[in-house]
């Protein structure tokens, strides 16, 4: 006696049609299994590529400063500005070279009329992030979003930090 897939006993005298059906079922199941392995492997490759993205966190500590103020990064690095300043929301601006391309959806940034990324107001405990892909030097300024509080006392806006992000060429 011979056994087919599913442990059904078969008679060697059965027609060739039934044997071909058994072979076709085995081939079908093998193809399905290989397809599943390929899909899972492809998912693992994409997950590995996503994990290769690097992140740099810039902490805004109020008058204590910004750490780190200057960054040297590779294309594809996400810079996250974390506002730890309790008094006022802050904004990130790029006065010189403007950021016009990003590799992921920016958080708390919008596109200006000129087609460049500008930050929204970042509240205490909030973040803004931008993934840099263009090589070059991007100088940035962090200021209070509501300087009018200090303007009452003719202080201007003393909360101002200037830094830069250098994106290496590939």
pLDDT of 70 above 70: yes
Question: What is the pLDDT at residue 47?
Answer: 43
Question: What is the pLDDT at residue 80?
Answer: 97
Q: What percent of the chain has pLDDT over 90?
A: 39
- Which residues share a beta bridge with 77? 132
Q: How far apart are CA 157 and CA 31, in angstroms?
A: 67
> CA-CA distances (angstroms) from residue 153 to 78, 89, 147, 148, 156?
38, 19, 11, 9, 8
Q: Rounded to the nearest 10 degrees, how much is the dihedral formed by the CA atoms of 129, 63, 148, 163? A: -50
Report which listed range, 8-12, 51-55, 123-127, is most confident.
123-127
Question: Which residue reads 């201007």 in tokens?
Answer: 156
> CA-CA distances (angstroms) from residue 159 to 78, 88, 117, 145?
25, 10, 22, 10
pLDDT of 61 above 70: yes
Q: How far apart are CA 140 and CA 92, in angstroms?
A: 7
Q: What percent of the chain has pLDDT over 70?
A: 62
Mean pLDDT of 73-90: 93
Question: Which residue reads 């087609």 in tokens?
Answer: 115
Q: How far apart are CA 105 and CA 121, in angstroms?
A: 17
Residue 29: exposed, middle, or buried by beta-carbon count in 10 A (0-12, 13-18, 19+)? exposed
Mean pLDDT of 5-32: 60
pLDDT of 150 above 60: no
pLDDT digits (tens, 9 = 90+) for 82-121: 999 988 899 999 988 888 888 878 899 988 888 888 899 9
Q: Which of residues 38 and 26 earns the better pLDDT score?
A: 26
pLDDT of 69 above 90: yes
Question: What is the pLDDT at residue 134?
Answer: 93
pTM (whole model) above 0.85: no
């Amino acid at each position: 006696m011979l056994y087919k897939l599913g442990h059904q006993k078969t008679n060697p005298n059965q027609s060739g049609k039934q044997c071909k059906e058994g072979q076709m079922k085995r081939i079908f199941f093998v193809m399905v299994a290989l397809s599943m392995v390929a899909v899972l492997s492809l998912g693992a490759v994409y997950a590995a590529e996503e994990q290769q993205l690097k992140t740099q966190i810039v902490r805004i500590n109020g008058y204590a400063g910004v750490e780190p103020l200057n960054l040297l990064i590779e294309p594809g690095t996400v810079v996250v500005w974390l506002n730890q300043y309790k008094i006022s929301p802050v904004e990130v601006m790029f006065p010189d070279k403007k950021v016009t391309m990003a590799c992921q959806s920016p958080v708390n940034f919008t596109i200006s009329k000129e087609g460049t990324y500008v930050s929204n107001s970042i509240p205490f405990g909030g973040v803004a992030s931008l993934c840099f892909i263009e090589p070059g030097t991007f100088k940035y300024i962090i200021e209070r979003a509501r300087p009018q509080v200090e303007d009452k006392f003719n202080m201007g806006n003393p909360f101002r930090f200037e830094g830069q992000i250098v994106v290496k060429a590939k």
